[in-house]
Structure 1
Amino acid sequence: MTSLLFQLVSVFLLLLAPLLTSCQQLLQPVDCSAIYQQNRTKPSGVYTIYPAGKSSAVKVYFGVLVNPPSRPPQVFQRRMDGTTGFGNPTGEYWLGLDNIYHLSNNRKSELLVNMEDFQGKKVFARYSSFSVGAAGGGFVLSVSGFINGGAGDSLSYHNRMKFSTFDKDQDTWPWNCATSFLGAFWYNSCNYANPNGVYRSGTNSTFSAVGVKWQTWKGRDYSLKSISMKIRPVL
């Protein structure tokens, strides 16, 4: 009798496990794609995700794509008006390197970079493969598979680079690219792209190349009106 009861309990737990996993994913989605898969009628807006488990809750913005509907890309970086800080999911935003690492390593991901100039022209660059390495290795950028949406390829130059900041110089330049160009990024020696640079209005060469830059589109000294970097799982 005890053996039969044990077998019945074991079968019940096996049947229950997928349901519990599904509920966990619904309550603590790892990314915006998980939210979309659970409910495809969700509108664009701010949602909470858990890139590294239940203790890693963070608010993010995703916009639902229509005509036809598809998995929403998730914003991890945005510049749009020069407001201070990067903590507003609907404004200027930076998700954080640890979270980007977890999102891009959960599964194969692609990157979409949207940008706009001060004349209202919009272009994009897309990369079919994107990931960021772990903190111990310096958050190394891996990006490939460029698809041109009018912006040109300013990011491949930064491929395989560690992330540099004012207080952690990990670029290949003799000096600190982050300090010299007033930003933080996967600098090489130094940059073709500087999306976290100083927010300025269009062409300004007073202090060269310190603006929100995508060099293959607008050149070295043009600071963009807006730029956003978005990640999406590749199925």
Structure 2
Amino acid sequence: MRGITCCILLVLFEENRIIALDYNSNFTTNVNYEQMRLTNVVWKLPNIRKFQQKRQTICSKMRTKNLLELQVDNTTDFKQNAQQIFLFQDCNALYEAGYLQSDVYPIWIHQLYKFTYVFCDMDVQTLSNTTGWITIQRRINGEINFDRGWQNYVDGFGNVHGEYWIGLEHLHALSNQNTTTDWFGDFVTPPRMRIDFEDQDGITAYAEYRLFKVAGTYEKYRLIAAYLDQATAIPYNVPTPISRNWFSTFDNNSAFSGCPATFHGGWWFSACGESNLNGFYPVMGEKNSPSNIYWYYWYTVNENNTAFKAVSMKFQY
């Protein structure tokens, strides 16, 4: 039974079917239990190369299409579960699998060897006309306090059904998620990142970056790649308001000033910078300013420079 279980998992991994999701349920307790059970097995399998070696040993020449047809005693329950459970690494794969509604879904994070729930935006298309975005930050109503310390920003906080910050550790792992392995080693292609804005006047704009990558804990989650592609929230031929700096909070400041304590929220501050999407949620009638959710160039989008109603940051591979 254990060999059959490992064999199914290994083939699914080799075929890039990575995350637990039940096609016939809305993430019930039973499905969550199966996710945890599968996770415990996956923890024992350290990396892709060893997956492939172990698959060759255990599974011989079996392939996915006939693996689930095995008629072996006491495997009926697992075969049924394996047919229901597929593994997804991002929201775009979910969209292509038929999940067209923007909603909360679980995805598998390779580097952390765990599932995490994210809000998948299935409505916004990229410049290349694909959709399915992993939402990494979301502000919509001010219900969640973003004026928090370092550990909260590392771990993540909020309500994935509403406002939340996914966490710097998740952010680092997700920006390294799209890994290709060949004879010469592992190669990471950072995801696209998109920011969507809506102000209190109902005016919308976006900024889309073709590469967005965040370093790990030892580099204080420094933003090491942020290459602007196209944007309506930034004038042509001006620098992006997002600085490639270390992440800072009021209790772990790597900026060149006391900006995290003055302007609140964790962010990639340089000095005080030209952006802070984690600042205070504005009250009705306020202007866009460093005292709240801030984007320097918003006055070029709306001459009234009206404060924001909603902002969100999203990844796509």
Total equivalences in the alignment: 216
Residue matched to 1:5: none
Equivalent pair of 2:201/2:306 in contact (CA under 8 Å)? no
User: Does the residue aligned with 2:244 lie in a helix, a strand or coil?
Assistant: coil
**1:163-190 superposed Cα distances (whole Å, 9 cap, x missing partner):** 00111001122xx211010111000111
> How far 1:203 sits from its partner (Å)?
5.7
**Are residue 95 (structure 1) and residue 178 (structure 2) matched?**
no
Greater mean alpha carbon deviation, residues 41-50 or residues 118-127: 41-50
C-alpha distance in 1 between matches for 2:139 and 2:246: 21
Equivalent pair of 1:201/1:225 in contact (CA under 8 Å)? no
Residue matched to 2:133: 73
User: Does the residue aligned with 2:176 lie in a helix, a strand or coil?
Assistant: helix
Percent same amino acid at aligned positions?
27
**Equivalent residue in structure 1 for 2:299, among 204, 214, 218:** 218
Equivalent pair of 2:144/2:164 in contact (CA under 8 Å)? no
Question: Taking structure 1 as reference, are residues 152 and 74 closer, same or farther at Cα in structure 2, changes over 3 Å only?
Answer: farther
C-alpha distance in 2 between matches for 1:123 and 1:66: 12
Equivalent pair of 1:62/1:74 in contact (CA under 8 Å)? yes
**Equivalent residue in structure 2 for 1:145, among 228, 234, 246:** 228
Question: Taking structure 1 as reference, are residues 20 and 228 closer, same or farther at Cα in structure 2, changes over 3 Å only?
Answer: closer
Residue matched to 1:10: none
**Are residue 25 (structure 1) and residue 14 (structure 2) matched?**
no
1:121-200 alignment, distance < 5 Å: 121-141=203-223, 142-152=225-235, 156-173=240-257, 176-200=258-282
User: Does the residue aligned with 1:102 lie in a helix, a strand or coil?
Assistant: helix
TM-score, scaled to structure 1: 0.78
Greater than 6 Å deviation, 4+ residue runs: 66-69
Any stretches of 5+ residues in structure 1 without a counterpart? 1-12
Residue matched to 1:8: none
Equivalent pair of 1:171/1:187 in contact (CA under 8 Å)? yes
Query: One-letter code of the match for 1:43?
Result: Q
> How far 1:72 sits from its partner (Å)?
0.6
**Are residue 116 (structure 1) and residue 207 (structure 2) matched?**
no
Equivalent pair of 2:110/2:177 in contact (CA under 8 Å)? no
TM-score, scaled to structure 2: 0.60
User: Does the residue aligned with 1:50 lie in a helix, a strand or coil?
Assistant: strand
Query: One-letter code of the match for 1:180?
Result: T
Residue matched to 2:30: none
C-alpha distance in 2 between matches for 1:168 and 1:40: 43
> How far 1:69 sits from its partner (Å)?
7.0
Query: One-letter code of the match for 1:161?
Result: N
Equivalent pair of 1:64/1:70 in contact (CA under 8 Å)? no
**1:115-136 superposed Cα distances (whole Å, 9 cap, x missing partner):** 0111111111111111111111
RMSD over aligned Cα, in angstroms? 3.2
Bigger RCO (CA 8 Å, 6+ sep): 1
C-alpha distance in 2 between matches for 1:30 and 1:16: 15
User: Does the residue aligned with 1:72 lie in a helix, a strand or coil?
Assistant: strand
Equivalent pair of 1:125/1:152 in contact (CA under 8 Å)? no
